[in-house]
Amino acid sequence: MLHALDKPYIVGVDLGGTNVRAAVTDRDGKILGEGREPSLAQEGVDATIQQIIKAIGSAVTDAGVDISQIAGAGMGVPGSHKSKEGIVLWSPNFKDWHGVQLLAPIREELGIPVFMGNDVNVAALGEFNFGAGRDVNSLVMLTLGTGIGGGIILDGKLVLGSTDAAAEIGHSIIMPNGPECSCGRHGCLESLAGKDAIIERAARKIQMGRKSTLIRDEDWPLWEITPAEIAQAAQEGDEVAIETMSETAYYVGIGIANAINVLNPEMVIVGGGISLAGDVLWGPLLRTVNALALTRSRRACQVVPAKLGDDAGVMGGVTLVLQELE
């Protein structure tokens, strides 16, 4: 029997609230086959585990390989975990998952080593090994979305912290007594630059009577604007949208400057939908970072958009396996 180290293929898994995606790669990270299944987030942990196993099975078949040739599977999972023990303590997408054992049944069914980590930590590993961070040894990653997630890699290793809860950059305090955050505290970066905060910022300007191409008709609910629409309108010159992006970028820039000042990384990677918005985001973001980061640390640090897009999760899962086995 082949030892895990000698097996040529690896599986990366990206578990989300809607879908679970699995990819089989070779050791250089070339994707050879994929599988995707609905994650059945509302149907309990056993149903989701079956979907994960199914997605892995489809990816292995699609790659034209056999499960006996797979060295291991690595998985990004939203939420807080005891990742070494395979336990999900809490997940925003899977509401009844409290202290559930996620990995043991998958290991048992497939007969291969299976590893997991927080989804953004794992995405950071993907960017580190295969994406924007290939040439650096330390990086901080932020993902901008409904929430703001973080991942920290120092000296080539993911930083988990004492209780597997490091890198919660979204909950670093940017404005004491600021808006309430999803965590129940006030003024976290996420409460100022997460999806709802961006929408609210644009909606308030429109409510104050500002003209904007974001407005559709009289009865249209303002809260249905999306960050993607705001980013698009900003790129087309809409002033309300430009201000909204600029204010959002300012807060993200403060969060990044704090991370640079604390960790002195070689790179900060910004991912998530609106990271693709171009100058309307990146102009004010970089100006803020330049103003607030310590000069020596700032000079040593590139601040760049993520490269892998939707592949960051599966490629991070692959990296998790490579690091665990080697």
Could you list the residues that contact Zn ion (CB under 5 A)?
Answer: 171, 181, 183, 188
| Shortest Cβ 283–Zn ion spacing (Å) | 27
Which among 119, 125, 142 is positioned nearest to 249, based on CA atoms? 142
CB nearer to Zn ion: pick between 49 and 188: 188
Contact at 8 Å (CB) between 221 and 254?
no
Structure tokens at 115: 């590893």
| Shortest Cβ 188–Zn ion spacing (Å) | 3
CB nearer to Zn ion: pick between 169 and 308: 169
CB nearer to Zn ion: pick between 51 and 172: 172
CB nearer to Zn ion: pick between 78 and 133: 78
Which among 305, 293, 306, 285 is positioned nearest to 262, based on CA atoms? 293
Rounded CA separation 106/179 (Å): 41
CB nearer to Zn ion: pick between 18 and 163: 163
| Shortest Cβ 141–Zn ion spacing (Å) | 18
| Shortest Cβ 197–Zn ion spacing (Å) | 11
Rounded CA separation 39/106 (Å): 15
Torsion of CA 44, 50, 52, 58, to 10 degrees: -150
| Shortest Cβ 121–Zn ion spacing (Å) | 17
| Shortest Cβ 185–Zn ion spacing (Å) | 5
CB nearer to Zn ion: pick between 122 and 188: 188
Question: Amino acid identity, residue 188?
Answer: C
**Beta pairing, strands 9-15 & 70-77:** parallel
CB nearer to Zn ion: pick between 146 and 264: 146
Question: Amino acid identity, residue 233?
Answer: A
How many C-beta atoms lie closer than 10 Å to residue 9's C-beta?
21
N- to C-terminal Cα separation, the chain: 19
Structure tokens at 49: 């585990």
CB nearer to Zn ion: pick between 185 and 210: 185
Q: Is the dihedral of CA 4, 5, 9, 13 positive or negative?
A: positive
Cross-strand pairs, 143:
149, 271
| Shortest Cβ 192–Zn ion spacing (Å) | 10
Is residue 236 exposed (0-12), middle (13-18) or buried (19+ Cβ within 10 Å)?
A: exposed
| Shortest Cβ 171–Zn ion spacing (Å) | 4
CB nearer to Zn ion: pick between 104 and 183: 183
| Shortest Cβ 282–Zn ion spacing (Å) | 24
Is residue 153 exposed (0-12), middle (13-18) or buried (19+ Cβ within 10 Å)?
A: buried
Contact at 8 Å (CB) between 48 and 106?
no
